[in-house]
């Protein structure tokens, strides 16, 4: 089910300048990213690393248990404490890495590598601090007395290097994961901005098309009235009154993207009546009964260019009477709007006028390939302009009719 707005082509972005995903932002070299999802990804990654390291140490210790009773691997609690200690360091390193970025390679690579080395170098001391907090006991069951000198004395350079190497690789994987997530966010934001700009462009083009249509219609009608003033002033006065009524409807319809089909048919009827007052002996009008149709919505002022084209080009080069029929038919899940006019035999009509181009562009902007428009001869003495578009119905909400339409 697809919703088509009746009042506005787009909804403006939030006044804060943020896009629909919202959230707090963190500055980085390529722009801003959301803090909460970034922290969620980083936290989930670190929980996985913690569990992996704990399970690996436990399995390795169980494997060596049959060979030696000595604990070669630290218990699970010191390792969990180690990762808790490293977690804020990881956040700080990743945050700094995002701020630095990779734009200037010769400057960025040394800084990025230094951040990874600093983080990984904290792994072995973090484990020892975890053992201190756990109250590590020796094989006799007595607590080990820790001091600053004994702390550094216990750090084996080879074990420190091995631990730093492993955690440097872990840091690299984590940074790659976060960078990929940030790039995904940038891509998503770019898509949102592009979609918003595309909708704004469509709304601007629709407004321009409506402004183009209104003066064009007005000038033609004023020209029609001017032709009546000299030889039939009473008819001209009647036409001025009708024109005023039609202009009120024109201003109202010009402010909206969609209007009720009944309003559109009434607008076309007023326009054709004005033309019939001028060409009363040559113009016959046949209108569909709006009461026979369900409440439907159509693009505003979509029928008027077709009616105007039927009058102008139907009468051109045609001395006989011209019949203009306005029809509306429902088929399956679509609506067909048709304006048929008779024309002089052999006439080619006009399929590229301003009004018809206006109709094609508006249908393309508002419906894409879901709507079609065809204008051309039907036989030797008839011209048909037909619109086929999705069926847009009223939606009842809270006991009143909502000003939007839904394609079923």
The SS3 assignment for 262 reads helix
The SS3 assignment for 371 reads coil
Per the CB < 8 A criterion, the answer to whether 215 and 304 are in contact is: no
For the stretch 227-260, pLDDT in tens is 778 777 887 888 888 778 777 776 666 567 788 8
Segment (H or E) for 54: helix 35-64
Strand-strand pairing, 283-287 and 2-5: unpaired
Per the CB < 8 A criterion, the answer to whether 10 and 200 are in contact is: yes
Backbone angles phi, psi at 328, to 5 degrees: -140, 130
Please state at what angle helix 105-121 crosses helix 76-100, rounded to 10 degrees: 170
For residue 142, the model assigns a pLDDT of 46
Structure tokens at 125: 């001391």
Per the CB < 8 A criterion, the answer to whether 37 and 43 are in contact is: no
- The string of DSSP codes covering 164-219 is HHHHHHHHHHHHHHHHHHHHHHHHHHHHHHHHHHHHHHHHHHHHHHHHHHHHHHHH
Q: Is the pTM of this model over 0.75?
A: no
- Give the span between the Cα atoms of 135 and 214, in whole angstroms: 85
Could you tell me which of 244, 243, 288 has the C-alpha nearest to residue 264?
288
Q: How many residues does the chain have?
A: 408
- The string of DSSP codes covering 329-362 is EEETTEEEEEEEEE--TT----SSSHHHHHHHHH
Distances (CA, A) of 259 to 61, 264, 353, 384, 393: 76, 7, 24, 23, 11
DSSP 48: H
For residue 336, the model assigns a pLDDT of 94
Per the CB < 8 A criterion, the answer to whether 62 and 75 are in contact is: no
For residue 31, the model assigns a pLDDT of 58
Q: Across-strand partners of 334?
A: 331, 390
The SS3 assignment for 403 reads strand
Residues with pLDDT less than 70, the chain: 1-33, 63-72, 134-156, 197, 200-217, 220, 250-255, 317-318, 346-353, 394-408
Segment (H or E) for 27: strand 25-28
Q: Across-strand partners of 297?
A: 260
For residue 8, the model assigns a pLDDT of 39
For residue 16, the model assigns a pLDDT of 36
Laid out side by side, the sheet with 283-287 consists of 283-287, 322-331, 334-342, 382-390, 372-377
For residue 87, the model assigns a pLDDT of 93
Q: Across-strand partners of 283?
A: 322
Domains of the chain: 2-196 (no CATH), 232-407 (3.30.565.10)
For residue 338, the model assigns a pLDDT of 94
For residue 404, the model assigns a pLDDT of 39
For residue 127, the model assigns a pLDDT of 82
Could you tell me which of 286, 32, 304 has the C-alpha nearest to residue 182?
32
Structure tokens at 87: 């977690």
Please give the span between the terminal C-alpha atoms of the chain, in angstroms, as a whole number: 6
Q: Which residues contact 55 (CB under 8 A, 6 or more apart)?
A: none
For the stretch 144-184, pLDDT in tens is 445 444 455 555 677 788 888 889 999 999 999 988 888 88
Torsion of CA 397, 399, 405, 408, to 10 degrees: 70
- Give the span between the Cα atoms of 263 and 266, in whole angstroms: 5
For residue 205, the model assigns a pLDDT of 60
């Amino acid at each position: 089910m697809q919703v088509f707005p009746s009042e506005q082509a787009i909804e403006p972005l939030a006044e804060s300048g943020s896009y629909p995903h919202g959230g707090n932002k963190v500055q980085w070299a390529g722009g801003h990213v959301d803090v909460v999802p970034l922290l969620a990804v980083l936290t989930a990654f670190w929980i996985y690393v913690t569990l992996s390291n704990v399970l690996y140490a436990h399995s390795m210790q169980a494997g060596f248990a049959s060979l030696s009773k000595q604990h070669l691997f630290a218990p699970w609690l010191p390792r969990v404490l180690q990762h808790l200690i490293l977690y804020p360091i990881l956040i700080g390193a990743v945050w700094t890495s995002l701020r630095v970025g990779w734009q200037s390679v010769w400057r960025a690579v040394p800084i990025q590598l230094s951040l990874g080395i600093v983080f990984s170098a904290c792994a072995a001391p973090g484990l020892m601090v975890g053992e201190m907090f756990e109250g590590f006991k020796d094989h006799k069951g007595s607590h080990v007395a820790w001091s600053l000198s004994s702390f550094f004395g216990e750090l084996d350079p080879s074990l420190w290097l091995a631990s730093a190497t492993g955690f440097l690789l872990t840091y690299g994987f984590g940074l790659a994961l976060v960078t990929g997530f940030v790039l995904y966010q940038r891509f998503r934001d770019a898509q949102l901005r592009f979609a918003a700009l595309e909708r704004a462009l469509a709304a601007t083009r629709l407004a321009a098309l409506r402004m183009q249509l209104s003066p064009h219609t007005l000038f033609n009608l004023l020209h029609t009235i001017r032709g009546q003033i000299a030889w039939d002033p009473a008819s001209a006065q009647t036409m001025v009154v009708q024109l005023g009524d039609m202009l009120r409807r024109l201003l109202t319809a010009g402010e909206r993207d969609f209007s009720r089909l009944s309003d559109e048919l009434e607008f076309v009827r007023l326009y054709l009546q004005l033309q019939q007052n001028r060409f009363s002996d040559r113009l016959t009008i046949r209108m569909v009964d709006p009461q026979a149709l369900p409440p439907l919505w159509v693009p505003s002022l979509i029928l008027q260019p077709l009616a105007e084209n039927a009058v102008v080009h139907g009468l051109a080069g045609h001395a006989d009477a011209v019949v203009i029929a306005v029809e509306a038919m429902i088929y399956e899940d679509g609506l067909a709007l048709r304006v048929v006019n008779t024309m002089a035999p052999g006439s080619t009509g006009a399929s590229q006028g301003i009004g018809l181009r206006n109709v094609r562009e508006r249908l393309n902007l508002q419906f894409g390939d879901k709507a079609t428009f065809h204008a051309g001869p039907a036989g030797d003495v008839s011209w048909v302009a037909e619109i086929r578009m999705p069926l847009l119905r009223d939606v009842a909400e809270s006991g009143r009719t909502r000003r939007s339409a839904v394609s079923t």
